[in-house]
Amino acid sequence: MDDFIVSARKYRPVTFDTVVGQGSITTTLKNAIRNNHIAHAYLFCGPRGVGKTTCARIFAKTLNCVNRTETIEACNRCESCKSFNEQRSYSIHELDAASNNSVDDIRSLIEQVRIPPQIGKHSVYIIDEVHMLSTSAFNAFLKTLEEPPTHAIFVLATTEKHKILPTILSRCQIFDFSRITVKDTIDHLKGVAAKEGITAEEEALNVISQKSDGGMRDALSIFDQMVSCCGTNFTYKQVIDNLNVLDYDYYFRLTNACLDGRIADTLMLFNEILNKGFDAQHFVSGLSSHFRDLLVSKDASTLSLLEVGASTRLTYQQQAGRCPEEFLIGALDICNAAETEYRTSRNKRLVVELMLIRLAQLPTKKKIGQPVKFQIDKIFDNATALRVTHVTGSAPSAAPAQMVIPAEPKPQNSTNEPTPEIIVNTPPTSPRSTTGMGIPGGFSIKATLSGSANNIQTPLSNNTNLPDSEESKNDPVSSEMLKTAWMQFIAQNNSEKLMLCQAMRENMPEISGGHIIEVKVSNNILQQRFVDENDGLVNYLRNALNNNKIKLNIQVINIPDEDNFETLSPQARLKQMFELNPALKKLADNLNLEQGR
């Protein structure tokens, strides 16, 4: 029974043409040999398993071959090639800098460099993992590396170029090896499988290639592992189960759930992924890559960036057709933010679940975790128009300010009734000193509750362009009819508009001029309640009383002068406050407050 040799060794390239994924480097080395432009020092750097040491060996073997082919490859028949293949060459030396990194080791190397080659023209010294040399060893190596004997050539290999001294780098020709692409890895694995008599699905080889992260040695090691596990025939399902790889299907299902806005399904799918032992951070990273792949699948010009199998590529194209670009860009932004927050969060699962909720809300443009956007400028304008002299500290204006507040739009099933507008008239304000937290005039709860010394009237005007049938609704309105309609509105809306109905109970209306409904309130807060609900209230009264000329006039009643209020005793102030605001009296009774002190 023959001894087993791992595929990474058994199928290690022995010629330049069999090196996978480094065409530009092998071509340069072959041209240097052909033209006899041989440097005295080379540095091969790049990720693990991409062919650095392999290329160094092929270069050294080809350089000393006496019968090179027309394509600048070693003949494998001359004495130099045979001695190299049989690992007995005295012209090609390999040194592991990880275990020979001291000054004494470099001194021994320098002594050895002086000896000319026994076979061939060059003595080639391949120093692997050269970044492991100590600083003293590097310094001892400098002179020999810069001016070696004419027969000596150094080939240094490393995975960490940044750890090498700049003085060493400046003495070498530097070749940067790139990661091997997924396509090149799949093609090479297909060749190995064919030679070994193994049948493997292309999707399975694709998973192995992506798992290897651009390293051919890793890919062949995983390939051997799958052969040991599954035998001479393995499938995509067996590969993802054995390697604990998250299946594409999870990401496709999750994306469909997000597009449909099914938050519960996304959370349950994430829970299923966790129960199978997958890491949440790996899931977030994979989901980001999935949305990236969907984005590149939307355009035929970027489809080449998608490194997946043929069947998976088709699925990506189909799902990309469902995904708007805005959704994919927003999803990438959300996933990137979640991946950053995940590293520092204590409740890591919550971070991922919030990410999924936001993703599911993207198609409906609802952003979870963000405050509701109010019309701030409108709110400030309303507050300014309703501010009275007890609150404001601004300079007196020459004329009363006027602001038109459009009523809220009606539901589609409402009748063709006029849409009223509220005109709020505020009197000129008087200046006051600036007090309290930098706000002009400060803020007075007493002033807000008690209202202005002048009446604030808010008549509700009608739309003048009414149909003839609407203008004909002009039945006379009596006080009894008004109060009946008033109480009916309270009874019908008490549960939905509790604050307004409470204000309506405490402030009964009066009819004036046949169609003017006057309501007297004690402060601006009660007045604003009527203003906020004007549309529904006025339209209800117009329909109930069959009069479309009804207007609502809200007045804030006069209060005693503020200076006189300040001079009253506490008991008198409290009594006056109870008279102005019965709700305050009810509150004091409910809380059992002592009112006699």
pLDDT tens per residue across span 532-569: 777 778 888 888 888 888 888 888 876 555 445 555 67
Long-range contact set of residues 79-84: C-beta below 8 Å, sequence gap at least 24:
79/119, 80/119, 80/120, 83/119, 84/57, 84/60
**CA 85 from centroid of its chain's CA atoms:** 54
Domain 7-176 in this protein, CATH class: alpha beta
DSSP helix/strand/coil, 83 = helix
Q: What do you get for the CA distance between the two ends of the chain, in Å?
A: 108
β-strands 401-406, 421-426: how paired?
Answer: antiparallel
Write down the domain spans for the chain: 7-176, 182-243, 248-361, 376-559
Q: State the pLDDT at residue 543.
A: 85
Q: State the pLDDT at residue 372.
A: 38
CA-based nearest residue to 49, from 12, 94, 84: 12
CA-based nearest residue to 576, from 594, 591, 595, 590: 595
CA-based nearest residue to 551, from 511, 516, 519: 516
* Residue 96 phi, psi dihedral angles, 5° rounding: -90, 105
CA-based nearest residue to 477, from 517, 516, 514: 514
Write out pLDDT tens, residues 159-204: 999 989 899 999 999 999 998 888 889 999 999 999 888 888 888 8
Residue type, 410: K
CA distance linking residue 58 with residue 126, whole number of Å: 11
Domain 182-243 in this protein, CATH class: mainly alpha
* b/e 68-92 (16+ beta carbons within 10 angstroms → b): beeebbbeeebebbebbeeeebebb
Residues 6+ apart with CB under 8 A from 350: none
Q: State the pLDDT at residue 432.
A: 40
CA distance linking residue 4 with residue 2, whole number of Å: 6
Q: State the pLDDT at residue 156.
A: 93
Residue type, 336: N
Q: State the pLDDT at residue 399.
A: 40
Please answer whether residues 33 and 61 qualify as being in contact, where contact means their C-beta atoms are separated by less than 8 angstroms.
no
Report the 10 Å Cβ neighbour count for 364: 8
Q: What angle do CA 120, 126, 37 make, to 5 degrees?
A: 55
CA distance linking residue 91 with residue 124, whole number of Å: 6
Q: State the pLDDT at residue 176.
A: 93
Asked whether this chain's domains 7-176 and 182-243 adopt the same fold, the reply is: no
Assigned CATH for 248-361: 1.20.272.10
CA-based nearest residue to 272, from 256, 295, 249: 249
Q: Which residues of the chain have pLDDT under 70?
A: 1-2, 365-472, 558-568, 594-597
Please answer whether residues 405 and 422 qualify as being in contact, where contact means their C-beta atoms are separated by less than 8 angstroms.
yes
H-state helical runs in 452-519: 468-471, 479-493, 498-506
Please answer whether residues 33 and 63 qualify as being in contact, where contact means their C-beta atoms are separated by less than 8 angstroms.
yes
CA-based nearest residue to 20, from 219, 171, 157, 200: 219
Q: State the pLDDT at residue 363.
A: 82
CA distance linking residue 315 with residue 346, whole number of Å: 36
